[in-house]
Amino acid sequence: MVFISYINGLLKFFFRTYSLKFKYPFGVSGHTRSETHSVFLAIEYVGITGFGEACLPSYLGEGVKETLDFLARCRPLIEKFNPQNKLDALLDKIDALSTGCNAAKAGVDIAMHDLLAKYHNTTLARWRNIPVMKSRSTSFTIGIDNEEVIAKKIREATLYEVLKIKAGTSNDCALIETIRKYTSKPLYVDVNQGWKQKEYVLEMLQWMKTQNVLLLEQPMPKEMKTEMQWVTERSPIPTFADESVKRLRDLKDMAGAFSGVNIKLMKCTGPNEALKMIDYCRQHNLKVFLGCMAESSCGTAAMAQLMALADYIDLDAPELYVNDPFEGLRYKNGKIWLNNEPGLGVRWLGSPFDQVRPLQISS
């Protein structure tokens, strides 16, 4: 566990590492994990604290050390903050520090949104002029596992209207048939680049249409854009990009390869760019899917503030953990619920950012 903190005048900047523990090992195409590392941020200004999260699943390709190093590099820029500054200008400068570290950038962006909305005594959604939606049904994710565990997960997800299934196994038809033994609920299927032949993908799409599958996410490797264009032109259900599209520039380069995109804060550098991507999708007749990268309630709440703008949402990650360190985001009757508290509407359980003496910044 790492605690790092700085003080400079009215502003305090803290960040620390944390391991989020899954209730069950979480399997996707290619690997299984039992925990997810996150780096949490707190930016305090005149007694108001904004929280942020950089969630770092291994497949994102961003590690804890490089995230901590990047956040330290952000410090001189964040120190100059005041509520009269334009947020875009600060985030552009932070973005220019590195071509990567998207999750770290998202953590800063989320914390600044939380701080500024609290400063103006309103929710993030209202501060960004997003329609208010107090609750919305979300899918519930079931990772790749054996039949006994899958059946148990389905029973635990009784109140959820839609299940999201991780596929990309050696026999995905058998996987879906196993799920159909226990539920007839609509499914989202996420292959995480697990299929390689366009003809096979189309065949699976046609079969999944008969199995009440509503959409298919990232069936082939991100490099196979031409093949995905061929598939999407013929698909009976919407196809969604995930690994193929991280940021707005990737979305602009998608060129008909998918029906829509799964936007995630940890990929796109935070709410600021997510809103730009949503605007682009609306202008170009693309479906909007708001997802998460297995964040805690902190990162998930940030995305949930945008959920009124989405066609689909998959924001169940806090329900998959046993040690979510934030409270305020609720799940009830298969829905995600926001409160009316300022900012993200979440609070850390305890005082983790006060456990070390802040380091005085030299001038």
8 Å CB contact between 104 and 71? yes
Rounded CA separation 327/298 (Å): 8
What is the pLDDT, as a whole number, of residue 5? 47
Q: How far apart are CA 114 and CA 58, in angstroms?
A: 26
pLDDT at position 143 is 83
Q: Which helix (H) or strand (E) holds 12?
A: strand 11-28
Cβ partners under 8 Å of residue 18, min gap 6: 1, 37, 38, 39, 40, 296, 325
Closest CA to 325 of 358, 303, 353: 353
CA distance 190 to 29: 9
User: What whole-number distance in Å separates Cα of residue 334 and Cα of residue 42?
Assistant: 30
Per-residue pLDDT, 357: 35
**What does 126-169 look like in DSSP terms, one character per residue?**
HHTTPPP-SEEE--EEE-S--HHHHHHHHHHTTT-S-EEEE--S
What is the C-alpha to C-alpha distance for residues 267 and 275, in angstroms, rounded to an integer? 13
Q: Read off the tokens for 10.
A: 């009215």
Collapsed DSSP state (helix, strand, coil) of residue 103: helix
Asked if residues 238 and 215 have their Cβ atoms less than 8 Å apart, the reply is: yes
On the question of a common fold for 3-121 and 135-337, the answer reads no
Give the count of alpha carbons within 13 A of 88, CB side only.
5
Pick the CATH number of 135-337 from 3.20.20.120, 2.40.50.100, 3.40.640.10, 3.30.420.10: 3.20.20.120
In angstroms, how far apart are the furthest CA atoms of the chain? 66
Q: What is the amino acid identity at position 30? A: G
- At position 330, the amino acid (one-letter code) is R
The predicted pLDDT at position 207 comes to 97
Domain assignments of the chain as residue spans, ordered by start: 3-121, 135-337
What is the CATH architecture assignment of 3-121?
2-Layer Sandwich (3.30)
What's the pLDDT score for residue 13? 83
CA distance 229 to 27: 28
Residue ranges of the chain with pLDDT lower than 50?
1-7, 354-363
pLDDT in tens, 75-103: 888 888 777 778 999 999 999 999 999 99
- Rg of the chain on CA atoms, in Å: 20
The pLDDT of residue 355 is 42
| DSSP percent split of the chain into helix, strand, coil, nearest 5 | 35, 25, 40
Task: Find all residues with CB under 8 Å of 65, minimum gap 6, and list them.
Answer: none
Res 293: pLDDT: 87
pLDDT for res 229: 97
State pLDDT tens for residues 239-279. 999 999 999 999 999 889 999 999 999 999 999 999 999 99
pLDDT at position 352 is 56
Task: Give dist(CA 26, CA 36) in Å, integer.
Answer: 10
163-166 and 140-142 beta bridge pairing: parallel
Q: What is the pLDDT of residue 193?
A: 93
